[in-house]
Protein backbone atom coordinates (compact mmCIF):
# COMPACT_ATOMS: atom_id res chain seq x y z
CA UNK A 1 0.00 0.00 0.00
CA UNK A 2 1.30 3.44 -0.95
CA UNK A 3 2.45 5.84 1.76
CA UNK A 4 -0.23 8.54 2.17
CA UNK A 5 1.44 11.96 2.20
CA UNK A 6 0.09 15.39 3.13
CA UNK A 7 1.97 18.42 1.75
CA UNK A 8 1.79 21.52 3.96
CA UNK A 9 3.07 24.50 1.94
CA UNK A 10 1.64 28.02 1.54
CA UNK A 11 3.21 28.69 -1.88
CA UNK A 12 0.96 26.99 -4.49
CA UNK A 13 3.76 26.69 -7.05
CA UNK A 14 6.15 25.07 -4.57
CA UNK A 15 3.38 22.77 -3.35
CA UNK A 16 2.68 21.62 -6.91
CA UNK A 17 6.38 21.02 -7.60
CA UNK A 18 6.66 18.96 -4.42
CA UNK A 19 3.53 17.02 -5.39
CA UNK A 20 5.01 16.17 -8.79
CA UNK A 21 8.32 15.15 -7.22
CA UNK A 22 6.48 12.99 -4.71
CA UNK A 23 4.21 11.21 -7.16
CA UNK A 24 7.13 10.38 -9.45
CA UNK A 25 8.56 8.11 -6.74
CA UNK A 26 6.95 4.66 -6.51
CA UNK A 27 5.23 3.90 -3.23
CA UNK A 28 4.06 7.43 -2.39
CA UNK A 29 0.65 9.05 -2.89
CA UNK A 30 -0.21 12.72 -2.28
CA UNK A 31 -3.45 12.53 -0.35
CA UNK A 32 -3.80 16.31 -0.04
CA UNK A 33 -2.24 19.79 0.07
CA UNK A 34 -2.77 22.28 2.91
CA UNK A 35 -1.73 25.94 2.67
CA UNK A 36 -1.65 26.65 6.41
CA UNK A 37 -1.57 24.97 9.82
CA UNK A 38 -5.32 25.24 10.36
CA UNK A 39 -6.07 23.41 7.10
CA UNK A 40 -3.40 20.83 7.82
CA UNK A 41 -4.68 20.09 11.33
CA UNK A 42 -8.24 19.72 10.08
CA UNK A 43 -7.00 17.31 7.38
CA UNK A 44 -5.04 15.24 9.90
CA UNK A 45 -8.11 14.93 12.11
CA UNK A 46 -10.27 13.56 9.32
CA UNK A 47 -7.92 11.57 7.07
CA UNK A 48 -5.41 8.78 7.49
CA UNK A 49 -1.95 10.25 6.83
CA UNK A 50 1.38 8.42 7.10
CA UNK A 51 3.80 11.25 6.30
CA UNK A 52 3.71 15.06 6.23
CA UNK A 53 6.03 17.20 4.10
CA UNK A 54 6.01 20.31 6.28
CA UNK A 55 7.04 23.89 5.60
CA UNK A 56 7.86 26.11 8.60
CA UNK A 57 7.20 29.70 7.50
CA UNK A 58 3.50 30.15 6.76
CA UNK A 59 0.83 32.77 7.54
CA UNK A 60 -0.55 32.40 11.04
CA UNK A 61 0.91 29.49 12.99
CA UNK A 62 4.18 28.08 11.69
CA UNK A 63 4.94 24.50 10.81
CA UNK A 64 6.77 23.71 14.04
CA UNK A 65 3.64 24.63 15.98
CA UNK A 66 1.78 22.03 13.93
CA UNK A 67 4.51 19.48 14.63
CA UNK A 68 4.21 20.27 18.34
CA UNK A 69 0.45 19.63 18.21
CA UNK A 70 0.98 16.36 16.32
CA UNK A 71 3.28 15.12 19.08
CA UNK A 72 1.06 16.48 21.86
CA UNK A 73 -1.93 14.60 20.48
CA UNK A 74 0.12 11.46 19.99
CA UNK A 75 -0.76 11.13 16.32
CA UNK A 76 0.95 8.29 14.49
CA UNK A 77 2.30 10.37 11.62
CA UNK A 78 5.88 11.06 10.51
CA UNK A 79 7.17 14.43 9.35
CA UNK A 80 9.86 15.57 6.92
CA UNK A 81 10.49 19.30 7.21
CA UNK A 82 11.08 21.18 3.95
CA UNK A 83 11.88 24.80 4.70
CA UNK A 84 14.03 27.81 3.91
CA UNK A 85 14.76 28.03 7.64
CA UNK A 86 18.45 27.14 7.91
CA UNK A 87 19.16 28.43 11.42
CA UNK A 88 20.23 25.94 14.05
CA UNK A 89 17.37 26.83 16.43
CA UNK A 90 14.64 25.76 13.98
CA UNK A 91 16.60 22.71 12.85
CA UNK A 92 17.24 21.50 16.42
CA UNK A 93 13.63 22.11 17.44
CA UNK A 94 12.30 20.17 14.44
CA UNK A 95 14.58 17.22 15.15
CA UNK A 96 13.73 17.25 18.87
CA UNK A 97 10.06 17.11 17.92
CA UNK A 98 10.74 13.96 15.92
CA UNK A 99 11.13 15.13 12.31
CA UNK A 100 12.65 12.19 10.42
CA UNK A 101 14.51 14.46 7.99
CA UNK A 102 15.09 18.16 7.31
CA UNK A 103 15.52 19.61 3.79
CA UNK A 104 16.64 23.20 3.31
CA UNK A 105 15.16 25.11 0.38
CA UNK A 106 16.16 25.24 -2.37
CA UNK A 107 16.79 21.51 -2.57
CA UNK A 108 17.33 19.11 -5.47
CA UNK A 109 14.92 16.40 -6.53
CA UNK A 110 17.61 13.84 -5.78
CA UNK A 111 17.81 15.02 -2.15
CA UNK A 112 14.05 14.68 -1.72
CA UNK A 113 14.14 11.31 -3.45
CA UNK A 114 16.86 10.12 -1.06
CA UNK A 115 14.85 11.33 1.95
CA UNK A 116 11.70 9.55 0.83
CA UNK A 117 13.39 6.31 -0.19
CA UNK A 118 15.35 6.19 3.08
CA UNK A 119 12.11 6.70 4.99
CA UNK A 120 10.42 4.03 2.88
CA UNK A 121 13.17 1.46 3.54
CA UNK A 122 13.15 2.19 7.28
CA UNK A 123 9.39 1.67 7.43
CA UNK A 124 9.71 -1.61 5.57
CA UNK A 125 12.33 -2.80 8.06
CA UNK A 126 10.19 -1.78 11.03
CA UNK A 127 7.16 -3.64 9.68
CA UNK A 128 9.06 -6.84 8.99
CA UNK A 129 9.14 -7.95 12.63
CA UNK A 130 7.57 -7.18 16.01
CA UNK A 131 10.62 -7.75 18.18
CA UNK A 132 14.18 -6.53 17.71
CA UNK A 133 17.59 -7.46 19.07
CA UNK A 134 19.97 -4.71 20.20
CA UNK A 135 22.17 -5.36 17.16
CA UNK A 136 19.23 -4.97 14.76
CA UNK A 137 18.07 -1.79 16.49
CA UNK A 138 21.57 -0.31 16.44
CA UNK A 139 21.78 -0.82 12.68
CA UNK A 140 18.54 1.11 12.22
CA UNK A 141 19.18 3.93 14.71
CA UNK A 142 22.95 4.34 14.87
CA UNK A 143 24.16 3.06 11.52
CA UNK A 144 21.29 3.59 9.07
CA UNK A 145 23.59 3.36 6.04
CA UNK A 146 24.30 -0.27 6.91
CA UNK A 147 20.64 -1.26 6.66
CA UNK A 148 20.64 -0.92 2.87
CA UNK A 149 24.02 -1.26 1.23
CA UNK A 150 23.03 -0.83 -2.41
CA UNK A 151 23.95 2.61 -3.80
CA UNK A 152 21.34 5.03 -5.07
CA UNK A 153 20.62 4.61 -8.76
CA UNK A 154 22.72 6.73 -11.11
CA UNK A 155 21.38 8.31 -14.31
CA UNK A 156 21.74 6.24 -17.46
CA UNK A 157 25.26 6.34 -18.89
CA UNK A 158 27.02 6.94 -15.54
CA UNK A 159 28.84 4.25 -13.57
CA UNK A 160 29.69 4.09 -9.89
CA UNK A 161 33.33 3.25 -10.65
CA UNK A 162 33.87 6.32 -12.83
CA UNK A 163 31.90 8.52 -10.41
CA UNK A 164 34.26 7.42 -7.64
CA UNK A 165 37.24 8.43 -9.79
CA UNK A 166 35.62 11.77 -10.61
CA UNK A 167 34.95 12.57 -6.96
CA UNK A 168 38.48 11.59 -5.92
CA UNK A 169 39.98 13.65 -8.75
CA UNK A 170 37.91 16.71 -7.84
CA UNK A 171 39.56 16.68 -4.39
CA UNK A 172 42.94 17.21 -6.09
CA UNK A 173 41.83 20.17 -8.20
CA UNK A 174 41.93 23.80 -7.20
CA UNK A 175 38.84 25.88 -6.63
CA UNK A 176 37.11 26.92 -9.85
CA UNK A 177 38.19 23.99 -12.04
CA UNK A 178 36.91 23.48 -15.58
CA UNK A 179 35.54 20.49 -17.46
CA UNK A 180 38.77 20.23 -19.46
CA UNK A 181 40.93 20.23 -16.31
CA UNK A 182 38.88 17.42 -14.77
CA UNK A 183 38.94 15.39 -18.00
CA UNK A 184 42.74 15.65 -18.17
CA UNK A 185 43.21 14.53 -14.56
CA UNK A 186 40.97 11.48 -14.96
CA UNK A 187 41.88 10.63 -18.53
CA UNK A 188 38.36 10.70 -19.96
CA UNK A 189 36.78 12.76 -22.72
CA UNK A 190 35.32 16.21 -22.06
CA UNK A 191 31.92 14.88 -23.12
CA UNK A 192 32.05 12.19 -20.43
CA UNK A 193 33.40 14.60 -17.83
CA UNK A 194 30.59 17.01 -18.63
CA UNK A 195 27.97 14.30 -17.94
CA UNK A 196 29.37 13.63 -14.47
CA UNK A 197 29.72 17.34 -13.71
CA UNK A 198 26.10 17.91 -14.72
CA UNK A 199 24.95 15.13 -12.39
CA UNK A 200 27.08 16.39 -9.49
CA UNK A 201 25.68 19.87 -9.98
CA UNK A 202 22.09 18.58 -10.05
CA UNK A 203 22.45 16.80 -6.68
CA UNK A 204 24.11 19.84 -5.10
CA UNK A 205 27.59 18.33 -4.75
CA UNK A 206 29.02 21.06 -7.00
CA UNK A 207 28.13 24.63 -7.78
CA UNK A 208 28.87 26.09 -11.22
CA UNK A 209 29.50 29.63 -12.38
CA UNK A 210 29.99 30.93 -15.94
CA UNK A 211 33.06 33.14 -16.41
CA UNK A 212 33.03 35.36 -19.49
CA UNK A 213 36.27 36.15 -21.28
CA UNK A 214 37.07 38.36 -24.26
CA UNK A 215 35.75 35.79 -26.73
CA UNK A 216 32.15 36.14 -25.57
CA UNK A 217 31.59 32.44 -24.79
CA UNK A 218 31.57 31.56 -21.07
CA UNK A 219 33.89 29.08 -19.41
CA UNK A 220 32.08 27.13 -16.73
CA UNK A 221 33.98 26.77 -13.48
CA UNK A 222 33.00 24.33 -10.75
CA UNK A 223 33.49 24.30 -6.99
CA UNK A 224 32.58 21.84 -4.24
CA UNK A 225 29.72 22.84 -1.92
CA UNK A 226 30.04 22.74 1.87
CA UNK A 227 27.74 19.75 2.40
CA UNK A 228 29.24 17.78 -0.50
CA UNK A 229 29.92 14.60 1.49
CA UNK A 230 26.27 14.08 2.41
CA UNK A 231 25.19 14.84 -1.16
CA UNK A 232 27.36 12.19 -2.80
CA UNK A 233 27.33 9.49 -0.10
CA UNK A 234 24.16 7.68 -1.30
CA UNK A 235 25.75 7.12 -4.72
CA UNK A 236 29.09 5.74 -3.50
CA UNK A 237 27.94 3.08 -1.02
CA UNK A 238 29.52 -0.32 -1.38
Q: Give me the residue spans of the domains in the chain.
A: 3-131+139-147, 160-235
The superfamily CATH assigns to domain 3-131+139-147 is Response regulator (3.40.50.2300)
pLDDT tens, residue by residue, 13-31: 999 999 999 999 989 999 9
Q: Do domains 3-131+139-147 and 160-235 have the same CATH topology?
A: no
pLDDT at 212: 80
User: 142 pLDDT band (50/70/90 cuts)?
Assistant: low
pLDDT at 237: 62
Which numeric CATH code is attached to 160-235? 1.10.10.10
pLDDT tens, residue by residue, 36-81: 999 999 999 999 999 999 999 998 899 999 999 999 998 889 999 9
pLDDT at 131: 75
Strand partners, 103: 82
Backbone angles phi, psi at 50, to 5 degrees: -90, -40
pLDDT at 140: 65
**DSSP secondary structure letters along the chain:** -PEEEEEE-S-HHHHHHHHHHHHTSTTEEEEEEESSHHHHHHHHHHS--SEEEE-S--SSS-HHHHHHHHHHTT---EEEEEES--SHHHHHHHHHTT-SEEEESS--HHHHHHHHHHHHHHHHHHHH-S---HHHHHHHHT-GGGG--SPPPPPTT--HHHHHHHHHHHTTSPSSEEHHHHHHHHT--HHHHHHHHHHHHHTTSEEEEEEE-TTSSEEEEEEE-TTHHHHHGGGS--
- Rounded to an integer, what distance in angstroms lies between the CA atom of residue 68 and that of residue 150? 35
User: 180 pLDDT band (50/70/90 cuts)?
Assistant: very high
Other CB atoms within 10 Å distance of the CB of residue 112: 21
pLDDT at 108: 84
Among positive and negative, which fits the CA dihedral 64, 69, 72, 78? negative
Amino acid sequence: MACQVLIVEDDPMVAEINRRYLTSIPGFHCIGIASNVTEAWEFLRNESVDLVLLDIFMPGKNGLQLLTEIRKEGKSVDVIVISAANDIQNIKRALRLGAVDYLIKPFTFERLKTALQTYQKEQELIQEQNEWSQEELDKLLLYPDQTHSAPAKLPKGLTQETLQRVVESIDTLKKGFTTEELAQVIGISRVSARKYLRFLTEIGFLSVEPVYGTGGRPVYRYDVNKDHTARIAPYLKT
